[in-house]
């Protein structure tokens, strides 16, 4: 069975951009004090060659919150610190140059210029930018950008940019295929086939971006044969209790949303108050964190109905050796997140590429070639197989796999089956980024 990245219409770049603009992304709740911060990594390294300069661009001080985007960066830094403590790459330490773009296009362009022209980085790793305005410059310079988070459409637009979930788009300077991206319906298929769901509620605000995302979710649900219940909240004065009561009355099995983190907590609280019981309150990788008990402290029933889906192995699946290595390296932290694990995987991807290039010389071109041709890369089993195929035409159907976990008090996020075998043949639906 050919397994491909998960890039469904209900999430992916459009959803990520929407959620971040609304302030819902909480992929990292890692305290700044848990790491040594500065412009470069501070771990002691053995001397054995010139350092390899790597850049990490993060919207660390963006308008949507200082801890919203830092998970991938922090996961990558832990990996590089650990790598350096063990001798680096062919005896050469990895020197990390961080840049906070402030969540603006101007700041992002400034970061890109500094990292490429002044710091002479061989690659960017784990980019997490609200407005990746510098992407064309990165592409023109031939600097491989490895394992970035697809918050916008850049990773489906430009060559030399390699998102953490892969891309099959031509990447010729235009997003997707003629400005359209395509995503599958595997999440909806999963809950219908594996959990018996038939009716889904989609909760949104009467705000343009929220409403657009809700329509995208509804499109995918209807394609899978669901009865869809639409719940629109007033953005200024949302009546969560009324929405919760109605979705209970309509017999919703699932709840999807296009609202912010605070709104989700209030919705869950209202669902508990009115006695609304669902199979799943479905969230995404950005909210796949260990902070659930605090975020949903007032809604124990709804909290234990939280499910998360993504394209990487559950960070709590310590029975897996690759996850265990990540957790061992971060065991001193009080919180963990899926975005941290994906940043760790991005750093591993660069390291594998650099090691392959060491015999002939670690250059931008060599690292780029490795990543571009690393079909089926999994970061030691942390990711679903990633590829970059540049298909001339968008696929109509795909075999798509997904990672699924459910929150349970006392156990945390519990994996639901193996992500490499939770796969479905699903239609690919077009959307405009």
Q: Each residue of 170-192: pLDDT tens digit?
A: 999 999 999 999 999 999 999 99
The pair of three-digit structure tokens given for residue 157, joined into one six-digit string: 């637009």
Q: What is the pLDDT of residue 6?
A: 47
Report helix angle 321-329 to 70-85, nearest 10. 90
CB environment 153-168: b (16+ within 10 A), e (fewer): bbbbbbbbbbbbbbbb
**CA dihedral of 222, 223, 226, 228, whole degrees rounded to 10:** -10
Residue pLDDT, tens place only, 235-272: 999 999 999 999 999 999 999 998 887 899 999 999 99
- What are the residues whose beta carbons fall under 8 Å from the beta carbon of 236, sequence distance 6 or more? none
CA pair distance 285, 11, nearest whole angstrom: 10
Q: What is the pLDDT of residue 78?
A: 96
The pair of three-digit structure tokens given for residue 22, joined into one six-digit string: 């609304």
Report helix angle 13-22 to 208-223, nearest 10. 140
Q: What is the pLDDT of residue 48?
A: 58
Q: Nearest Cα to 419, choosing from 365, 391, 383?
A: 383
- pLDDT tens for the chain, residues 1 to 433: 344 544 544 444 344 444 434 433 333 333 333 333 344 443 333 345 899 999 999 999 988 776 789 999 999 999 999 999 999 999 999 999 999 999 999 999 999 999 999 999 999 999 999 999 999 999 999 999 999 999 999 999 999 999 999 999 999 999 999 999 999 999 999 999 999 999 999 999 999 888 988 999 999 999 999 999 999 999 999 999 999 999 999 999 999 998 887 899 999 999 999 999 999 999 888 889 999 999 999 999 999 999 999 999 999 999 999 999 999 999 977 889 999 999 999 999 999 999 999 999 999 999 999 999 989 999 999 999 999 999 999 999 999 999 999 999 999 999 999 999 999 999 999 998 8
- Evaluate whether 103 touches 110 at the Cβ level (below 8 Å): no
Q: What is the pLDDT of residue 20?
A: 37
- Evaluate whether 274 touches 245 at the Cβ level (below 8 Å): yes
Check residue 355 and give left, alpha or beta (phi > 0: left; psi -120 to 50: alpha).
alpha
Q: What is the pLDDT of residue 49?
A: 83
Give the sheet arrangement for strand 423-431, strand by strand.
181-184, 423-431, 397-401
Residue pLDDT, tens place only, 88-108: 999 999 999 999 999 999 999
- Evaluate whether 134 touches 141 at the Cβ level (below 8 Å): no
- Predicted TM-score (pTM) of the model is 0.89
Q: Where are the beta strands (DSSP E) in 101-250?
A: 123-125, 145-148, 161-163, 181-184, 199-205, 227-233
Neighbours of 202 (CB within 10 A): 26
What secondary structure letter does DSSP report for 117? I
Q: What is the pLDDT of residue 66?
A: 67
The pair of three-digit structure tokens given for residue 152, joined into one six-digit string: 């916008």
- What are the residues whose beta carbons fall under 8 Å from the beta carbon of 423, sequence distance 6 or more? 1, 3, 186, 399, 400, 401, 402
State how beta strands 423-431 and 397-401 pair: antiparallel
Q: What is the pLDDT of residue 1?
A: 39
Alpha-carbon dihedral sign for residues 132, 136, 140, 142: positive
Q: What is the pLDDT of residue 41?
A: 42
């Amino acid at each position: 069975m050919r397994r491909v990245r998960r890039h469904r219409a209900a999430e992916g770049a459009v959803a990520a951009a929407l959620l971040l603009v609304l302030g819902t992304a909480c992929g990292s709740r890692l305290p700044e004090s848990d790491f040594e911060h500065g412009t470069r990594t501070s771990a002691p390294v053995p001397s054995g060659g010139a350092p390899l300069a790597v850049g990490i661009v993060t919207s660390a001080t963006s308008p949507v919150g200082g801890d919203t985007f830092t998970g991938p960066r922090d996961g990558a830094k832990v990996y590089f610190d650990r790598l350096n403590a063990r001798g680096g790459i062919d005896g050469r330490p990895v020197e990390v140059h961080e840049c906070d773009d402030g969540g603006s296009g101007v700041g992002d362009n400034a970061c890109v210029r500094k990292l490429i022209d002044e710091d002479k980085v061989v690659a960017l790793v784990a980019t997490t930018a609200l407005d990746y305005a510098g992407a064309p410059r990165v592409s023109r310079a031939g600097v491989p950008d490895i394992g970035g988070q697809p918050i916008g459409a850049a990773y489906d637009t430009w060559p030399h940019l390699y998102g953490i979930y892969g891309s099959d788009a031509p990447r010729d300077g235009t997003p997707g295929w003629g400005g359209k991206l395509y995503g599958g319906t595997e999440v909806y298929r999963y809950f219908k086939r594996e959990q018996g769901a038939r009716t889904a509620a989609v909760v949104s605000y009467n705000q343009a971006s929220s409403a657009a995302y809700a329509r995208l979710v509804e499109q995918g649900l209807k394609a899978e044969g669901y009865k869809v219940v639409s719940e629109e909240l007033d953005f200024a004065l949302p009546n969560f209790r009324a929405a919760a009561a109605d979705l209970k009355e309509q017999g919703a099995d699932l709840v999807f949303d296009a609202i912010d983190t605070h709104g989700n907590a209030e919705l869950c609280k209202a669902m508990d108050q009115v006695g609304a019981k669902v199979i799943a309150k479905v969230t995404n990788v950005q909210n796949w964190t260990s902070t659930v008990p605090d975020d949903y402290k007032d809604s124990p029933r709804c909290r234990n109905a939280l499910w998360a889906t993504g394209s990487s192995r559950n960070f709590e699946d310590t029975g897996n050796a690759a996850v265990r290595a990540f957790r061992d390296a971060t065991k001193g932290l009080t919180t963990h997140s899926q975005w941290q694990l994906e940043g760790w995987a991005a750093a591993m991807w660069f390291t594998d590429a650099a090691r392959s290039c060491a015999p002939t010389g670690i250059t931008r071109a060599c690292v780029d070639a490795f990543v571009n041709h690393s079909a089926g890369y999994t970061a030691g089993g942390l990711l679903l197989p990633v590829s970059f195929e540049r298909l001339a035409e968008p696929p109509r159907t795909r075999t798509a796999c997904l990672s699924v976990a459910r929150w349970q008090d006392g156990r945390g996020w519990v994996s639901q089956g193996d992500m490499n075998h939770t796969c479905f043949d699903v239609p690919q639906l077009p959307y405009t980024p």
